[in-house]
Amino acid sequence: MPGSGDRLDYFGIDALLSDDERLARDTIGRIVDREVIPKIGRAWLAGEFPRDLIGTLGALRVYGANLPAEYGCAGMNNVAYGLIMQELERGDSGVRSFASVQGGLVMYPIYEFGSEAQRRRWLPAMAAGEKVGCFGLTEPTAGSDPAAMQTRARRRRDGWAITGTKMWITNGSLADVALVWAKDEQGEIRGFLVDPASPGFSVHDIHTKASMRASVTSELVLEDVEVSEDDALPKAVGLGAALRCLTQARYGIAWGAVGAAIACYEEARAYARERIAFGRPIAASQIIQERLVNMVTEITKAQLLAYHLGRHKDAGTMRYTQVSLAKRNNVRAALAIARDARSILGAYGITLEYHAMRHAANLESVDTYEGTYDVHTLILGRDITGLDAFGGATP
């Protein structure tokens, strides 16, 4: 019966995939089953990113898997890439986040906005997991509105000097290269590849998170950090360049959320079939069945959105507003499913032996980062009405 097996696929999306797409999904799925799921609860509790995964996933060319093979990447299509993100987030949002930032937010801009020398220098090493990147756009006082950033890049004789603070930066203290966005003296936003070992650069990890605990999140402080002209991304000029990177990461999140939701649904279904209350499995009660059916319905809708979005991306017809719709819907749906799965598990659901609570806590971050639910509402509202509701008034 569709949907009763190990992996939920109620509408038979598997049959729409090519052999290569299935292979990518199943290869990474097996790694996640073996290397992530049995260990991640402990890492999450300890507040540690499982660093041994960096090389494992690099060897499988997970990072920037949709970038060309000539730069050492896997050269996969975007549906295969999305399925990989789905599998990683079935394990943990922090693991998917590591790969999203590495591939979508650092390798993609180097490929898209970088010089040939920058591509050759960074992409093969990052694809292999030998070098790690982070992406610094958000600041302590500018998140949803990155145009309000305070970080400044001043021209020097042979390069630039950057001063400012970036906040909530995934992979911050793991990074060998930080892509930092700053405004030049004309107010134009530019992207720079900054060496974290540079004088004036410091990184401070954030340890008080109750979400995304198996992920490194940091503050980056830059005090007059010198960056040579060779490390400025020549085509990363204007806010639109930074926003195009976000589109890549948001695309992966739309798929990743499906993975987290499937993990929670499968756990809740299995538990409900075993758990006896009032002399019968709780899954025999109408209320529990309705909740499981609602999960299957929302996951199926999210799967179809992600799949169709991926086909659009491969055809070159994807619009960034469609990515907003999929990210907004799929993450909010996954969050609701994770919370509901947690409650079906009763008291056991609050522990890290089960996965629903960890996913629910992580998804709070996913709902906020890469554009909050509200920001995507306003992006879509602007698209369908032609009117901008973001504001602009001075408080």
User: Which of 21, 89, 219, 370 does the annotation list as catalytic?
Assistant: 370
CA 189 – CA 242 distance, rounded (Å): 8
Our CB check for ligand FAD shows the closer of 180 and 288 to be: 180
200 binds, among ligand FAD, ligand TGC, none (CB under 5 to 8 A by kind): none
Q: Is 364 a catalytic residue?
A: no
CA 41 – CA 48 distance, rounded (Å): 10
217 binds, among ligand TGC, ligand FAD, none (CB under 5 to 8 A by kind): ligand FAD
- Whether the Cβ atoms of residue 159 and residue 228 lie closer than 8 Å to each other: yes
Q: What separation in angstroms does the CA of 356 have from each of 91, 132, 259, 319, 342?
A: 11, 29, 12, 32, 5
Assigned token pair, 223: 């005090």
E strand or H helix at 357: helix 356-368
Our CB check for ligand TGC shows the closer of 205 and 226 to be: 205
- Whether the Cβ atoms of residue 130 and residue 118 lie closer than 8 Å to each other: no
Give the residue at shortest CB distance from ligand FAD: 143
- Whether the Cβ atoms of residue 245 and residue 109 lie closer than 8 Å to each other: yes
50 binds, among ligand FAD, ligand TGC, none (CB under 5 to 8 A by kind): none
DSSP E strand boundaries for 25-157:
133-136, 152-156
Our CB check for ligand TGC shows the closer of 246 and 272 to be: 246
22 binds, among ligand FAD, ligand TGC, none (CB under 5 to 8 A by kind): none
Chain residues in the site for ligand TGC (CB under 6 A): 97, 100-101, 135, 137-138, 144, 146-147, 170, 239-240, 243-244, 246-247, 249, 320, 369-371, 375, 379, 390
Smallest gap from Cβ 209 to ligand FAD, in A, equals: 7
Non-local CB neighbours of 183 within 8 Å, separated by 6+ positions: 149, 151, 152, 153, 189, 190
Our CB check for ligand FAD shows the closer of 142 and 283 to be: 142
Chain residues in the site for ligand FAD (CB under 6 A): 101, 135-138, 143-144, 168-170, 212, 217, 365, 368-370, 372, 374-375, 378, 390-391
Smallest gap from Cβ 392 to ligand FAD, in A, equals: 9
The answer for 194, left when phi > 0, alpha when psi is -120 to 50, beta otherwise, is beta
Smallest gap from Cβ 305 to ligand FAD, in A, equals: 21
Annotated catalytic residues are 370
